[in-house]
């Protein structure tokens, strides 16, 4: 059976630095998807009974392989989505830490949880896997996004079907190879080049699928959640963000600007949890904007393969066009652009860092996520105004508050509506820190101990003892 979606969906590597197609991969047929579902379901029946020590040994070996092959793996995603080699190797270091973290801690995280009850009975919660899961992953962190889903769930004893972004087919295939090289049973993790229609029409309605985790856009999350709800499947969604960084005061403005700038430019601004809205007190606002603009003007395109590469292309020409359209729309509506208004006369998806001020409600960018190197700076005159502006967003992923007065920073941070808040430090993705948001930024948590509380049967056991 072949659908139109299978004809139109294209899994291929297109180098964003040149716009040239490098390699193409065939989309799966419905029969191949059904076969993958069956194999994943059958693998679950044995993988769930594999001793936890053996499951975590596989994860530990996976971590070692990522370390050994980091140079090769970084080059793959540089070609797929433009990530500079130094940043790619940084992503791979975090990936190794994630697999090792769950290898080291999963057994403790799965320990039975005793409950208080009558003296003549015993009650406890045990954590059991639920079955075959679907992961739908994005292109911006090809290895990391998969790791934070796969590591805890494979440790639990679940099995995985992984649908990666159509522009990351090479890294998707390599990850499956790494699991098999590490000793994971072949069908416990299966890479599938599926279409969105196959997710909705074939996978989610199938009783062999027990849940879906998606990292992606708000629109994609809404669509997948609707289908999952229709089929009574558990979902974890990590969606967009418009994270506020609040600067109340600073003893060293130059250092603070450098911190904010570096946090936003990571992955060329293509991260959900980066400072998309910089909220700055009026007494330092003008100088902050001046220094930030100067830093942005210094960035010029570089070869993503270079060891010290700074400004890499966006993930695709289409991403570049979307980003520039959003920026131009905001300026047309009255926003002030300080730098980045001109495009490079280059092929591919390079864009200049953009600094925007005077962005008002109703303009593009005020309530939209700008997925690229755009700095929006807002001026406020009080803590109350800063908090109100920080919370005036449909998103609620991450946030950060900076002040030389720790107590004041903590007080303001307590009033920010977000799934994560950082105080006097930029946001971080670490293996031990739970990651996730509120409002339209999604539901559920990944990483840290909470990652193993999502796709799990917290089964009650109650027994009389005499």
Report pLDDT digits (tens) over 410-424: 999 999 999 999 999
Whole-angstrom distance, CA of residue 376 vs CA of residue 366: 9
Whole-angstrom distance, CA of residue 427 vs CA of residue 404: 18
Radius of gyration of the chain (CA): 23
The answer to whether 1 and 29 have CB atoms below 8 angstroms apart is yes
Q: Residue written as tokens 């990850």?
A: 175
The answer to whether 419 and 436 have CB atoms below 8 angstroms apart is yes
- Which pLDDT score, from 0 to 100, does residue 308 have? 62
Whole-angstrom distance, CA of residue 115 vs CA of residue 187: 36
Rounded to 5 degrees, φ, ψ at 322 are -65, -45
Supply the residues annotated as catalytic: 238, 272
Residue among 257, 262, 245 at smallest CA distance from 87: 262
- Which pLDDT score, from 0 to 100, does residue 305 have? 61
Residue among 330, 395, 348, 355 at smallest CA distance from 269: 355
Element (H, E) at 114: strand 113-115
The answer to whether 192 and 164 have CB atoms below 8 angstroms apart is no
Compute the 3-state secondary structure of the chain and give helix, strand, coil in percent, each to the nearest 5: 45, 20, 35
Supply the DSSP symbol for 301.
B
**For residue 232, how many other CB atoms are within 10 A of its CB?**
7
Whole-angstrom distance, CA of residue 124 vs CA of residue 127: 10
Residue among 432, 441, 414, 433 at smallest CA distance from 271: 441
- The dihedral of CA 174, 177, 181, 182: what is its sign? positive
Whole-angstrom distance, CA of residue 236 vs CA of residue 224: 10
Parallel, antiparallel, or unpaired: how do β-strands 243-247 and 275-281 relate? parallel
Token pair listed for 216: 């992606």
CA triple 44-50-56, angle to 5 deg? 105
- Which pLDDT score, from 0 to 100, does residue 3 have? 38
Q: Is the pTM of this model over 0.85?
A: yes
Rounded to 10 deg, the angle between the 70-81 and 142-156 helix axes is 120
Rounded to 10 deg, the angle between the 85-109 and 142-156 helix axes is 10
Whole-angstrom distance, CA of residue 310 vs CA of residue 333: 31
- Which pLDDT score, from 0 to 100, does residue 1 have? 31
pLDDT beneath 50: ranges in the chain: 1-7
Helix/strand/coil for 5: helix
The CA–CA distances, whole Å, from 124 to 121, 155, 418, 463 equal: 10, 21, 32, 9
């Amino acid at each position: 059976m072949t659908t139109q979606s299978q004809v139109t969906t294209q899994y291929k590597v297109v180098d964003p630095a040149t716009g040239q197609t490098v390699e193409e991969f065939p989309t799966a047929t419905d029969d191949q998807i059904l076969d993958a579902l069956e194999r994943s379901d059958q693998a679950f029946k044995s993988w769930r009974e594999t001793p936890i020590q053996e499951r975590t040994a596989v994860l530990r070996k996976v971590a070692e392989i990522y370390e050994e092959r980091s140079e090769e793996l970084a080059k793959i995603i540089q070609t797929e989505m433009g990530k500079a080699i130094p940043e790619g190797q940084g992503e791979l270091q975090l990936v190794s830490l994630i697999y090792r973290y769950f290898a080291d801690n999963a057994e403790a995280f799965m320990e039975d949880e005793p409950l208080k009850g009558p003296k003549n009975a015993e009650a406890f919660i045990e954590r059991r896997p639920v079955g075959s899961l679907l992961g739908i992953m994005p292109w911006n962190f090809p290895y990391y996004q998969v790791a934070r889903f796969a590591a805890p769930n494979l440790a639990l004893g679940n099995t995985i079907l992984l649908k990666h972004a159509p522009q990351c087919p090479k890294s998707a295939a390599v990850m499956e190879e790494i699991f098999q090289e590490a000793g994971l049973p072949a069908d416990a993790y299966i890479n599938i080049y599926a279409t969105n229609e196959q997710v909705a029409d074939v996978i989610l309605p199938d009783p062999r699928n027990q849940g879906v985790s998606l990292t992606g856009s708000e629109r994609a999350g809404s669509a997948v959640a609707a289908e999952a709800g229709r089929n009574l499947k558990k979902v974890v969604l990590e969606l967009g963000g418009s994270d506020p960084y609040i600067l109340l005061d600073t003893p060293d403005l130059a250092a603070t600007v450098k911190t904010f700038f570096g946090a936003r430019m990571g992955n060329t601004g293509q991260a959900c949890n980066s400072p998309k809205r910089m909220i700055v007190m009026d007494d330092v606002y003008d100088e902050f904007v001046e220094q930030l603009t100067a830093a942005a003007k210094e960035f010029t395109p570089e070869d993503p393969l270079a060891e010290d590469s700074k400004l890499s292309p966006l993930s695709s020409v289409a991403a570049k066009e979307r980003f520039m359209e959003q920026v131009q729309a905001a300026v047309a509506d009255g926003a002030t652009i300080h730098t980045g208004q001109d495009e490079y006369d280059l092929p591919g998806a390079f864009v200049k860092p953009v600094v925007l001020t005077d962005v008002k409600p109703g303009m593009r960018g005020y309530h939209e996520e700008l997925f690229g190197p755009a700095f929006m700076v807002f001026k406020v005159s009080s803590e109350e105004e800063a908090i109100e502006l920080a919370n005036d967003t449909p998103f609620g992923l991450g946030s950060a508050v900076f002040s030389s007065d720790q107590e004041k920073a903590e007080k303001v941070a307590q009033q920010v509506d977000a799934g994560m808040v950082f105080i006097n430090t930029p946001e971080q993705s670490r293996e031990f820190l739970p990651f996730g948001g509120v409002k339209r930024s999604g539901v559920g948590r990944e990483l840290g101990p909470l990652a193993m509380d999502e796709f799990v049967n917290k089964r009650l056991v109650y027994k009389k003892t005499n």
